[in-house]
Structure 1
Amino acid sequence: MYLRKSEKKYIMFNNYYFLRQLSSSLKEHLVGMTLGACFSQSKDELMIGFYKGGREQWIRASLIPNFNLLTFPLDYQRKKVNSIDLFKEAIDQEVEDIIQYNNERAFLIKMTNNWGILFKMYGNRSNILLVHEGEVITLFQKRHIEDQNIDVSQLDRSLDQTKEGFFENGLRGTFPTLGKEALAYLVKNGWEDADKEKQWKMLSSIISKLENPKYYTIEENEQIHFLLFEEGTTLFETDNAIEAANEFFYRFSKRFFVEQERVPLLREIDKRLKQSRSYLKKNYARFEELTESARFEEIANIIMANLHAIPARTKKITLFDFYKDGDIVIKLNEFQTPQKNAETYYRKAKNQKLEVKNLEENINEKEEEMKRLQTHRDALNDLEMVREIRKYIKTNGLQKLQKNEPVFPFRKFEFKGFEIWVGKNAVNNDLLTQRFAHKRDLWLHARDVAGSHVVVKWKSKQPTFPINVIEKAASIAAYYSQRKTDTLCPVIYTPKKYVRKRKGDPAGLVVVDKESVVLIEPAPFSENLT
């Protein structure tokens, strides 16, 4: 028989050999005690409390997927809300015995009047069942509906676990409850290359360890594990099964629940950092391309210096480039005068400078966003308590990352209590106007040129927009347009309900049915400007 090398040790809490010793320890603690409480305060956790005189003993059954185990607090304070009583029929019954089923990961707390609580610890199929006279009465985990049909009287399994039985039936047929951790241990120690005699010796050795174990909470690969034999970095060692369970739960749950809070957030941050790096790579390349080829103004100056030498209706001409001390071939519009061609190159130079400026702003903005994300990532990695992580998330407004919501996609400013949202490009403009703007919001755009859509968010307590707010938003709209360097820029404004997009129009293009115009000086946002 060959074992999969991928099967590794990690958590032996639900291993049959540990449960057998745990149920034996529980017998010493619980026999003679009375069931006093059984309730749930979350869908995957059941609290069972026993008492005798002034002494209490609790069992906490945590049946979270991938985290199924039992722990044993000496006392427990029940919450006053979000709590439901379960297994009420068995309350006040006294524990008579604890029955461990042979070769089965299940045990029964047997109580008076034929009541019992069955612990079925089958990994992700674990469940707690109330039984009476051998019949299942109630399930804790209702999703495992098949547990309703468990025949408690048939849980014991008798197996021939002698040497002869092993030779005849193999490992799985003889010791099906050995567990993947012990199997991995055998593989690691040469099981697959050993003959039957040597395998039996190896098997006898590991069974001896499992039947008379110490319990080890270890750390490996930054994870907390529970073993019945020593391997890895030992964090805690004991020969008391209940103490071992409590210690493992404390260490594992601390790491488990911390990672449950932290890992999805870190994953989302890493995803956005990767997207940002891609964005910056593309924009760095475009910025370098623009700055290296930014000769439109120089070409215009060369044309102006040679107006007398350029014949009419010329498509292409070679002129002396006094910037680089050589000849340059310049393309011209044959239907325009040389002076008009120079004006075209001057306009291209102005637009190119504007694009370069916008690229610089976008790059700086993205770099700042990456710094913030990296700061959050470093801070989250340093936190070791769930409450600290939750506090950090709330304080820094990271809930949107938890929900996988996009980072706010527009530039946003606040002036006189009004929010001003600014689109970043043509596609982003459509997103702002078509999906994020309300019909009562004020919509603005520089007139007759390409530029950002700007929206001033409407406020119910202040239904009209003050003139200084309109002017502030208009100056921003002018600044984020091709008229950015003009002395004055006409800006249209209107309620968003008068702005519509026609089917088939390119990104960013809209139709305005009703508008007003303000003539304003383009200016970046500043709180100090009124």
Structure 2
Amino acid sequence: MNAFLIERLAIQLREELIGKAVQEAFTTSQFDVTLVFDSLVIKVSFYQGQAYFQTPDPDKLQKKNRLSVYKSINGAKVLEVKTYSYDRRFDIVFDYGEILSFYLYGKFGQITHYQLGIWQETFPAKSSKVLSYETQQYEVRGKSLEELRFLTMEDKESLLQKNFDSQSDEDRAGLLENLKREVMSRCLYVNKGPRKYTLDYAAGDEPIASFDNVIDALDNYARLYISHQVFNQTKNAHLGQLRKELSNIAKKLKSAEKRLSELNKASSYKEKADLLMANMWQIEKRAKQVVLTSFDGEKEVTIKLQEILTPQANAERYYKKGKNESKQRDFAKKYLAEIEANYLAKEEEIAAFEQVDNLKQIRKTADKKTALKEVRLPYK
């Protein structure tokens, strides 16, 4: 969220909340906080650090596993929603000196509770604490275009064309105020992009909806964006696990093919035994090895011998080894067939999973380790 959008949100919240009391403030996870007012429910989800605003139906709020937060604001009425021009923050000021400050600085977003200016609590809990409550406005006077980091590239380009840096401080302030007024009156569009949903000031190739009301725009965008991102991350996590399993099977397949190839290429023990029996007359006594021509005459076969055994005894030893070799070859063939079947089955599993487009089904299919990593657990 940019500074103009945040200020626009704060202004609309002011219209909705002034004079309204907080009924309850609670969280159901490490990243979601819900503020229930008389006329409006605001749920803020800190997804991957960024704050996303939703306005859920009060009747559909989670009933179980609630953990109260900001307890002292319960029953307090909203006196003011304080805006900070050109800054990414706003405050909801209650009676009794209670304040909720929304610091929405990208991935460092947080909501901090102050009482009479003294820090009480920060959500999410692991956020860096802003202990001191400050109310000074962001000063833009004297700053160059490059220093105004809250501006989008589009905004900077617009001011660049008006020679912003060459203007006086007063004229720069006027240009910025005119830009803010123009941007904050624009229609907002929720667009579907190739990888995620976006909230923009113009319709994209696949516009989903358009809004003049910023609260409705943020609500619609947050629901689509978070659900789509959770869907993709959950699916990709399990796909990654499946592809890792496929890779492991591929390694086993390569090893099994190599083993069977080695068994097929090597001169069999039975062949060596047959060669010894056919050539016993030319084998010297106490020889340690003998080189004989294969039966097809195409190669020479080196046969190691036990010098204390006769040629016939050596042949019988190789016949015995031949029986084990045959068993090894049969086992290698059977093992290779099993690995090939596992590989094909895993490919089919991946292909089928890639077609799943339902998050519940994905979570059912995914293994427990992946599911626990992706799902936010409620407080117990």
What is the TM-score normalised by the length of structure 1?
0.61
Change (3 A) 1:316 1:329: farther
In structure 2, the residue corresponding to 1:365 is in which secondary structure? helix
From the superposition, tell whether residues 253 and 304 of structure 1 become closer, same or farther in structure 2 (CA, over 3 Å). Answer: same
CA distance in 1, matches of 2:297, 2:372: 60
* CA shift digits 1:107-128 (9 cap, x unpaired): 1223334433221112222111
Residues 276 and 312 of structure 2 are in contact (CA less than 8 Å); yes or no, is this contact kept in structure 1? yes
Q: Tell me the equivalent position of 2:377.
A: none
Matched to 1:159, the amino acid is V
CA shift, 1:47, in A, is 0.6
Offset of residue 325 of structure 1: 4.0
1:86 corresponding residue in structure 2: 69
Aligned partner of 1:250 in structure 2 is: 223
| Alignment partner, residue 170 of structure 2 | none
**What residue is the counterpart of 2:111 in the other structure?**
128
The answer to whether the aligner puts 1:23 opposite 2:10 as a matched pair is yes
C-alpha deviation, 1:101, in angstroms: 1.1
Structure 1 equivalent of residue 139 of structure 2: 158
1:200 & 1:372 partners in 2: Cα distance? Answer: 68
Out of 268, 279, 289, the position equivalent to 2:252 is 279
Following superposition, the deviation at residue 230 of structure 1 comes to 4.3
Query: Counterpart of 1:42 in 2: which secondary structure?
Result: coil
Name the counterpart of 1:38: 25
Change (3 A) 1:76 1:306: same
For 1:295, the equivalent position in structure 2 comes to 268
Q: In the alignment, is the contact (CA less than 8 A) between 1:209 and 1:228 conserved in 2?
A: no
In structure 2, distance between residues paired with 1:403 and 1:42? 14
Q: In structure 1, what is the equivalent of residue 82 of structure 2?
A: 99
Higher relative contact order (CA 8 A, sep 6+): 2
Cα distance, 1:119–1:325 mapped onto 2, change above 3 Å? same
**1:72 equivalent in alignment to 2:46:** no
Code of the residue aligned with 1:126 in structure 2: it is G
CA distance 1:297–1:209, shift in 2 (3 Å): farther
For each residue in 1:330-361, what CA deviation from the matched residue of structure 2 results, as whole angstroms up to 9, or x when unmatched?
42413321112212322333333233233233
In 1, distance between residues paired with 2:339 and 2:321? 26
Q: 1 CA distance for matches of 2:53 and 2:158?
A: 33
Q: Does 1:321 align with 2:294?
A: yes
Q: Following the alignment from structure 1 to structure 2, what is the Cα–Cα distance between the partners of residues 50 and 364?
A: 65
- Residues 170/196 of structure 1: CA separation in 2 closer, same or farther (3 Å cut): farther
**Residues 327, 147 of structure 1: alpha-carbon distance in 2 compared, 3 angstrom cutoff:** closer
Compared with structure 1, are the counterparts of its residues 296 and 254 closer, same or farther at alpha carbon in structure 2 (3 Å cutoff)? same
| Alpha-carbon spacing, 1:32–1:335, altered in 2? closer, same or farther (3 Å) | same
> Once the two structures are aligned, what percentage of the paired residues are identical?
21
1:134-213 to 2 correspondences below 5 Å: 134-151=117-134, 153-154=135-136, 156-160=137-141, 165=142, 169-173=143-147, 175-178=148-151, 182-183=152-153, 185=154, 197=163, 210-213=183-186
SS at match of 1:300: helix
Between 1:78-87 and 1:34-43, the stretch displaced more is 78-87
Deviation at 1:248, TM superposition (A): 0.9
Residues 379 and 250 (structure 1), Cα distance of their counterparts in 2 relative to 1, 3 Å cut: farther
Counterpart position of 2:233: 260
In the TM superposition, residue 294 of structure 1 has moved relative to its aligned partner by 4.2
In structure 2, C-alpha distance between the alignment counterparts of 1:400 and 1:63, rounded to whole Å: 23
- Rounded Cα–Cα distance in structure 2 between residues aligned with 1:133 and 1:29: 24
Matched ranges for 1:442-453 at <5 A: none
Equivalenced residues, count: 364
**Structure 2, gaps ≥5 residues long:** 168-174, 374-380
Q: Is the 8 A contact 2:36 2:42 kept in 1?
A: yes
Q: Deviations over 1:189-223 (max 9, x none)?
A: 899xx89839989x979767633322222233322
Q: Is the 8 A contact 2:276 2:315 kept in 1?
A: yes
What do the CA deviations read for 1:484-526 (whole angstroms, capped 9, x no partner)?
A: xxxxxxxxxxxxxxxxxxxxxxxxxxxxxxxxxxxxxxxxxxx
Tell me: CA distance 1:216–1:357, structure 2 relative to 1, closer, same or farther (3 Å). Answer: farther
Q: How far apart are 1:18 and its partner, in Å?
A: 0.9
Alignment check: 8 A CA contact 2:294 2:301 kept? no
